[in-house]
């Protein structure tokens, strides 16, 4: 059966998946959103899409053999399980779920079926990380012993007062929203080392001052001053892995730092070489030695349309999972591993101490 993708969730990321599929000439016949006005709007934007009145109607359609789950985080586990039980392959947006136990529910559902689940870790498919992954696989950095990750926003709390800032719906703030990307990158680039412990601290400085919060961007909707903010807006952590690797994570939605003084990116420190790159960057330079001389070399890759191409490559990869029965590039176990680290950082912040990371993430 040819690849035919149903869209579950017609917000900003669901729209990206639908328009990407249209651009690639893939079949995207149906869309459902809990808000029917959003489903109708997306169906109007992508002519081949037809809005359906319920999730049951989409999952019951025999012509749809795969779905993308692009809903708020609190619906990920329920919908992914229902889709798998309905016989659909699943492309599940990040984060995998609200917490580790919800991830386990998905993995259990996956075990009941012959369907596949691919995690939506889209930046694995971006040109710069792809080029660096190939270089690391060739041994170009040697043993990587430390990673330093950062994603900063000056005033960028998404949808203040809405589901993004309500812990029961989102699972947390920038750590689960932005940190998930850089944590997955380090795990993937370092061949999925086993996390041992985490020490983290989370801060809520700007979000609680909802009426006085001055913002630069509010892409997830205007502020709802009668809404909820019970998540962090800044998180920092040190994660230790078996074998000696350490990883620093620093992410913010809001902070008083001069613009671009703390740039986004990931730095990798290896015995043979090291580098710093941005997820959608146009350059990766490897610093190291050549003989007894310090040397630097730039990796060659095409960075044009980096984000669009990453989403396109992700959908093509998912298509091959469905049509050719390949193993996903980003598996449910990978999603669980990332979530285990996020859970440990939150627990460390709550308890004010270093904590062990749940080792069930080691099953791959």
Would you state the pLDDT for residue 1? 67
Greatest C-alpha distance within the chain: 68
Domains of the chain: residue spans and CATH: 5-123 (3.40.50.720), 126-307+338-362 (3.30.360.10)
Q: How far apart are CA 311 and CA 194, in angstroms?
A: 28
**CB–CB of 29/4 below 8 Å?**
yes
**CB–CB of 32/54 below 8 Å?**
yes
Q: Kindly state the tokens that stand for 28.
A: 């995207």
DSSP string, 9-46: --SHHHHHHHHHHHHHT-B--EEE-SSHHHHHHHHHHS
Query: Cα 128 to the chain's mean position, in Å?
Result: 16
Would you state the pLDDT for residue 121? 98
Q: Please say if the pLDDT value at position 217 is more than 80.
A: no
What percent of the chain lies above the pLDDT cut of 70? 97
- What interhelical angle do 100-111 and 76-85 show, nearest 10? 0
pLDDT band at 225 (very low <50, low <70, confident <90, very high): confident
pLDDT band at 215 (very low <50, low <70, confident <90, very high): confident
Taking only the tens place, the pLDDT of each residue in 90-108 is 999 999 999 999 999 999 9
Q: Please say if the pLDDT value at position 362 is more than 60.
A: no
Query: Cα 146 to the chain's mean position, in Å?
Result: 21
pLDDT band at 360 (very low <50, low <70, confident <90, very high): low
| Mean pLDDT for all residues in the chain | 94
pLDDT band at 120 (very low <50, low <70, confident <90, very high): very high
Q: How far apart are CA 335 and CA 187, in angstroms?
A: 11
Taking only the tens place, the pLDDT of each residue in 300-331 is 999 999 999 999 999 999 999 999 999 999 99
Would you state the pLDDT for residue 363? 47
pLDDT band at 359 (very low <50, low <70, confident <90, very high): confident
Taking only the tens place, the pLDDT of each residue in 227-285 is 899 999 999 999 999 999 999 999 999 999 887 788 899 999 999 999 999 999 999 99
């Amino acid at each position: 059966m040819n690849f035919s993708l149903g869209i579950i969730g017609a917000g900003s990321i669901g729209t990206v998946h639908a328009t990407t599929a249209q651009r690639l000439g893939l079949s995207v016949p149906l869309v459902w959103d809990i808000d029917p006005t959003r489903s109708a709007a997306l169906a109007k934007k992508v002519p081949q899409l037809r809005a359906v009145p319920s999730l049951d109607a989409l999952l019951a359609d025999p012509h749809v053999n795969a779905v993308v789950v692009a809903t708020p985080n609190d619906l990920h586990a329920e919908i992914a399980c229902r889709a798998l039980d309905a016989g659909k392959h699943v492309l599940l947006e990040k984060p995998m779920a609200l917490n580790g136990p919800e991830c386990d529910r998905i993995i259990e559902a996956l075990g009941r079926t012959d369907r596949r689940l691919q995690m939506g870790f889209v930046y694995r498919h971006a040109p710069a990380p792809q080029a660096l992954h190939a270089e690391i696989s060739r041994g170009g950095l040697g043993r990587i012993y430390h990673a330093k990750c950062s994603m900063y926003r000056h005033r960028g709390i998404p949808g203040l007062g809405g589901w993004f800032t309500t812990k029961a719906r989102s699972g947390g703030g920038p750590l689960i929203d932005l940190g998930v990307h850089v944590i997955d990158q380090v795990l993937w680039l370092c061949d999925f080392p086993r996390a041992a412990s985490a020490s983290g601290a989370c801060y809520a400085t700007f979000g609680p001052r909802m009426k006085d919060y001055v913002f630069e961007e509010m892409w997830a909707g205007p502020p709802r001053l009668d809404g909820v903010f019970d998540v962090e807006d800044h998180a920092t952590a040190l994660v230790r892995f078996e074998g000696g690797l350490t990883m620093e994570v620093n992410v913010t939605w809001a902070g008083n730092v001069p613009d671009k003084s703390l740039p986004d990116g990931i730095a990798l420190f290896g015995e043979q070489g090291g580098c710093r790159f941005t997820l959608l960057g146009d350059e990766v330079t490897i610093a190291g030695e050549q003989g007894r001389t310090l040397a630097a070399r730039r990796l060659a890759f095409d960075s044009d349309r980096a984000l669009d191409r990453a989403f396109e490559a992700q959908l093509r990869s998912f298509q091959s999972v469905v049509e050719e029965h390949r193993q996903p590039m980003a598996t449910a176990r990978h999603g669980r591993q990332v979530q285990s680290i996020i859970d440990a950082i939150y627990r460390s912040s709550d308890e004010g101490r270093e904590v062990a990371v749940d080792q069930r993430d080691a099953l791959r």
